[in-house]
Amino acid sequence: MAALPRTVGEYYYRGDSACHESGLVNWLRDEQRAGGPRGRSGFAISARMSEALHAALQTLPESAWEPSGDLHRAEIREGADVPFVPSEKTEKKDLPPLRYVAMRIGKKPGELFEDGSAVRHFPALSNRWELKAARLIEWHRQKAGTIEFVQDVIKNELGGGVRPSKYFGANAVGLRLAVIAHNVLGALKRLALPPELLTARPKRLRFLIFNTPGRLVHHARSLLLRLATAALWTAAYREGLRLLPATT
């Protein structure tokens, strides 16, 4: 956060369960934090499932669960607030209370997960109270996703798995460029492309948007580009150019 430009005025943090440790959580909650920007920083972090937290989830009534906007064809996803207060010695009394929410994922009627369970729970803790539980979970899951998926894309679709040189420094640059390409594609999908392409992998974007086949035609003293693709993606391409901020 300290490396961000001064023009940034709002700070948010999303992390998985590896980030669920008291030092980081208390640092994010402290508006006078050392070594970082001052002020509120909204966050949501996947919580480790303790026995007490699991017991609190089991006591939630069915009416507490609301459909999540994170739709999935093969699963039913719901979110709820969890009335849970951790009994941790590191909890500071002068800090605002944390909010615990959970996602419940269930199979379609008559189906079970591989381990035989009917539902699975994924809790998270946050300091954002302005969002409904389902919306907060959806926002939390809009981070890079599971790191294994990100590694697969960077390695196999963006060239990160190929070492361009025998020199360590050159290989480090190549890997960093692959990561930058992943981040740029993520921003492009959220800022300029249609919602149905939000989960598109680089290969799909390459065939739909970047490598659009066309032919240059000279006609009536004009140079025309004739595109051999569906009008839908041509329109999406033009709309994306309009939505992207102008470069200087």
Same domain for 129 and 53?
yes
Same domain for 134 and 182?
no
Asked, for residue 109, whether it belongs to a domain, the answer is: no
CA torsion 147-152-157-162 (nearest 10°) is 110
Q: Give the chain's length.
A: 248
Task: Give the number of other CB atoms < 10 A from CB of residue 44.
Answer: 24
> What radius of gyration, in Å, describes the C-alpha atoms of the chain?
23
Same domain for 127 and 168?
no
Asked, for residue 63, whether it belongs to a domain, the answer is: yes
CA distance 59 to 56: 5
- Give φ, ψ of 30 to 5 degrees: -80, 115
Q: Specify the higher pLDDT residue, 208 or 54.
A: 54
Q: Specify the higher pLDDT residue, 117 or 172.
A: 172
SS3 210: helix
Which among 131, 135, 119 is positioned nearest to 60, based on CA atoms?
A: 119
CA distance 120 to 139: 19
Asked, for residue 4, whether it belongs to a domain, the answer is: no
Same domain for 199 and 231?
yes
Q: Which residues contact 143 (CB under 8 A, 6 or more apart)?
A: 14, 15, 16
Asked, for residue 226, whether it belongs to a domain, the answer is: yes
Same domain for 129 and 179?
no
Asked, for residue 115, whether it belongs to a domain, the answer is: no
Same domain for 127 and 166?
no
For 47, the domain range is 11-69+78-102+123-143
SS3 147: helix
Which range is least confidently modeled, 55-64, 91-100, 193-202? 91-100
Percent of the chain past pLDDT 90, that is, above it, reads 23
When pLDDT is averaged across residues 132-140 and rounded to a whole number, the result is: 88
CA angle 144, 81, 138 (to 5 degrees): 25
pLDDT, position 248:
44
Same domain for 25 and 132?
yes
Same domain for 160 and 42?
no
Same domain for 151 and 34?
no
Same domain for 209 and 139?
no
Same domain for 130 and 244?
no
Which among 121, 148, 145, 146 is positioned nearest to 133, based on CA atoms?
A: 121
Asked, for residue 110, whether it belongs to a domain, the answer is: no
Q: How many domains does the chain have?
A: 2
CA distance 208 to 52: 49
Asked, for residue 5, whether it belongs to a domain, the answer is: no
What is the tens place of the pLDDT at every residue in 196-236? 888 889 988 888 877 777 777 888 888 887 776 666 677 77
Same domain for 131 and 194?
no
Question: What's the token pair of residue 154?
Answer: 């960077």
| Residues 64/92, Cβ–Cβ less than 8 Å | no
Query: 195 pLDDT band (50/70/90 cuts)?
Result: confident
Most confident range (mean pLDDT) of 103-112, 135-144, 179-188 is 179-188
Asked, for residue 118, whether it belongs to a domain, the answer is: no
